[in-house]
Amino acid sequence: MSFWWFRTAPPVVEDALDEDLPKLAEIHAKSFAHDWDAEELARLKAQPGVSVSVARRASPYGTRNPLGFLILRQAADEAEVITIAVDPRYRGRGIARKLMKDGMFRLYGDRCASLFLEVDAANEPALQLYKALGFRQVGERKGYYRSGDGDGTALVMRVDLRKSLAP
């Protein structure tokens, strides 16, 4: 018997639970040189305007462990991506795209006008994703990242949610 549908179902994105935070901290540690522990994530999650989304396998028979997560902070009609991370074992499967699209639609529904983020200029996969989602570079910060493949330049990017998501 083949279970091809089990492996190909897209992930489900939902609000992160407090019990997810230790696993999210593990994913963050695998993704960035400066990692955040579960307590730091809990403090961030508790701040006004902050939302934490998690991607999980869609199957009711699969694990409920997070595959990746996104943290957004909204103030008035603007928002920023605080961080996005996908477990290295699951990268390249569209999980970051799913998280970002879900976050963008939520913000659009909350009448948010624009979303900002910072990304390492040397992170080509992330840059491709953000450009495909409609983000455009609006600035840069030299030496922002201390570790990475490039010179540490952070690109500041922005998407107008009203233009990119409007029907």
Cα-Cα-Cα-Cα dihedral of 120, 51, 49, 155, to 10°?
A: 10
Q: pLDDT at position 58, please?
A: 75
Q: Is the pTM of this model over 0.85?
A: yes
Q: pLDDT at position 163, please?
A: 84
Query: Would 2 be classed as within a structural domain?
Result: no
- Report the number of distinct structural domains present in the chain: 1
Query: Would 123 be classed as within a structural domain?
Result: yes
Per-residue pLDDT of the chain (167 residues; tens, 9 = 90+): 445 544 567 789 999 999 999 999 999 999 988 889 999 999 999 999 999 999 998 766 666 789 999 999 999 999 999 999 999 999 999 999 999 999 999 999 999 999 999 999 999 999 999 999 999 999 999 878 776 666 789 999 999 998 877 66
Query: Would 156 be classed as within a structural domain?
Result: yes
- How many residues make up the chain in this entry? 167
Query: Would 1 be classed as within a structural domain?
Result: no
Query: Would 124 be classed as within a structural domain?
Result: yes
Supply the range of the domain harboring residue 125.
7-165
Query: Would 138 be classed as within a structural domain?
Result: yes
Query: Would 32 be classed as within a structural domain?
Result: yes
List Cα–Cα distances, 74 to 8, 35, 82, 106, 113, in angstroms.
33, 22, 10, 11, 10
- Check which CATH number belongs to the domain holding 17 and give it: 3.40.630.30
